[in-house]
């Protein structure tokens, strides 16, 4: 086997390092101003992050509207109070996403996602709709985190997902799940199915 020891690697690297230093000096002497490749890469990363956040913003705005649509169907006062609270928290998520966009030097360009509740009638149907809404939003935001490069928006979305996992737990209880079944799973990733309940 042909192994290079750490010491040998260092000795071999010294001439290469010297050549790189000389090349960098020559390039800086020849070049004028302008962005370096590192700066350009950072700008490209921020632009890509802004595009991801605009997609999430569209989703969040659609969710906020969908919650409002559900209010007339929620006859149980506890469910209605919870839905109003969750809708208010979704507005806080929207505000945080807007702040994250400003932090990237970007403008919001999203149109609210259209999330239809057509054909729904009973309270159970609307609760199920809200459950699936939260599930899909968690999945979208987890996908977004994997695409983002800036740490601040990633942290913000992680906190948002934690909040939405609590929403799912509350909706499970509203749908008739007991405390254990309603508890968020170890990895709440938007794929836990809605509890099966009898129609009310």
pLDDT tens readout for residues 112-143: 999 999 999 999 999 999 999 999 999 999 99
pLDDT tens readout for residues 165-191: 999 999 999 999 998 889 988 888 899
CA distance readout (Å), 9 to 4, 5, 20, 179, 183: 6, 6, 16, 60, 54
Q: Domain map of the chain by residue range? A: 41-182
Measured between its terminal Cα atoms, the distance across the chain in Å is 72
pLDDT tens readout for residues 65-92: 999 999 999 999 999 999 999 999 999 9
- With b meaning 16 or more CB within 10 Å and e meaning fewer, what string describes 144-171? bbeebebeebbebbeebbeebbebbbbb
The answer to whether the predicted template modeling score (pTM) of the entire model surpasses 0.85 is no
In sequence order, the 6+-apart residues with CB closer than 8 A to the CB of 49 are 104, 147, 148, 149, 150, 153
CA distance readout (Å), 109 to 8, 50, 58, 64, 96: 55, 9, 9, 17, 15
Q: Which fold has domain 41-182?
A: Ferritin (1.20.1260)
pLDDT at position 100 is 97
CA distance readout (Å), 112 to 79, 115, 131, 138, 197: 25, 9, 19, 17, 31
- Tell which residue, 112, 114, 106, has the closest CA to residue 58: 112
E strands within 47-132? none
- Tell which residue, 109, 112, 134, 133, has the closest CA to residue 52: 109
How far apart are the C-alpha atoms of 106 and 95, rounded to whole Å?
14
pLDDT at position 40 is 66
């Amino acid at each position: 086997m042909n192994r290079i020891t750490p010491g040998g690697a260092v000795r071999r690297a010294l001439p290469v390092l010297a050549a790189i230093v000389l090349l960098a000096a020559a390039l800086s002497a020849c070049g004028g101003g302008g962005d370096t490749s590192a700066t350009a890469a950072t700008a490209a990363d921020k632009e890509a992050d802004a595009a991801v956040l605009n997609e999430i913003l569209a989703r969040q705005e659609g969710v906020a509207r969908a919650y409002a649509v559900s209010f007339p169907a929620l006859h149980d006062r506890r469910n209605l109070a919870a839905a109003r609270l969750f809708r208010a928290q979704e507005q806080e998520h929207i505000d945080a996403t807007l702040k994250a966009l400003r932090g990237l030097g970007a403008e919001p360009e999203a149109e609210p996602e259209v999330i239809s509740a057509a054909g729904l009638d009973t309270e159970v149907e609307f609760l199920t709709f809200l459950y699936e809404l939260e599930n899909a939003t968690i999945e979208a935001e987890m996908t977004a985190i994997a695409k983002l490069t800036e740490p601040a928006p990633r942290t913000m979305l992680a906190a948002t997902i934690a909040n939405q996992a609590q929403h799912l737990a509350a909706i499970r209880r509203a749908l008739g799940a007991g405390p254990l079944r309603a508890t968020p799973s170890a990895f709440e990733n938007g794929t836990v199915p809605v509890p099966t309940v009898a129609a009310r």
